[in-house]
Amino acid sequence: MSGRRRLDWLGLTPEPERELPTAVAALRASSSSTATPRTAEELAVAERRRVERLILRGSRHSWLRYLAEVTDLVTGVAAGSRTGDPATALLAGEVVLDHHRMLIGLPGPGYGRTATDRTALEGAVRTLRTHIRTGGSR
């Protein structure tokens, strides 16, 4: 094997890098009980840096692990086991779900590895859309 780093997992649309940091920061903040409160802007900047680091220096594995964390946040809000804005969770869920669906066209095991998360996100997105459409009644 050559010393070249495989970057085929970076066949991404811009949405994960552009939209996820702010949404994920908001979801994390809504359920966080840190002793040192940070502003929404500080949290979004920190999340943006994390995503940037993952894209520039990470691997397929670390990127998919990050998206699994986002999936947990989204499915928690949808299930009612985590606090958070349903519209924000829906945005994050749709971005990650679109990403995972597009993996079918990329080389490597990404599509297969995300099958469980795709299924969970499909249900969460359906639930969140219904929740938003009906004004919050379950």
Q: pLDDT tens digits, residue range 106-137?
A: 888 889 999 999 999 999 999 999 999 998 75
Nearest CA-CA partner of 27 in 73, 63, 75, 72: 73
pTM score of the predicted model: 0.87
User: Residue 10 carries which DSSP code?
Assistant: G
Rounded Cα–Cα distance for residues 120 and 116 (Å): 6
User: Residue 103 carries which DSSP code?
Assistant: G
User: Residue 9 carries which DSSP code?
Assistant: G
Amino acid (1-letter code) at residue 15: E
Instruction: List the chain pLDDT tens, one digit each, 138 residues.
Output: 445 556 666 666 777 778 899 999 999 998 766 556 688 889 999 999 999 998 888 888 899 999 999 999 999 999 999 999 999 999 999 999 999 999 898 888 889 999 999 999 999 999 999 999 998 754
Rounded Cα–Cα distance for residues 60 and 8 (Å): 9
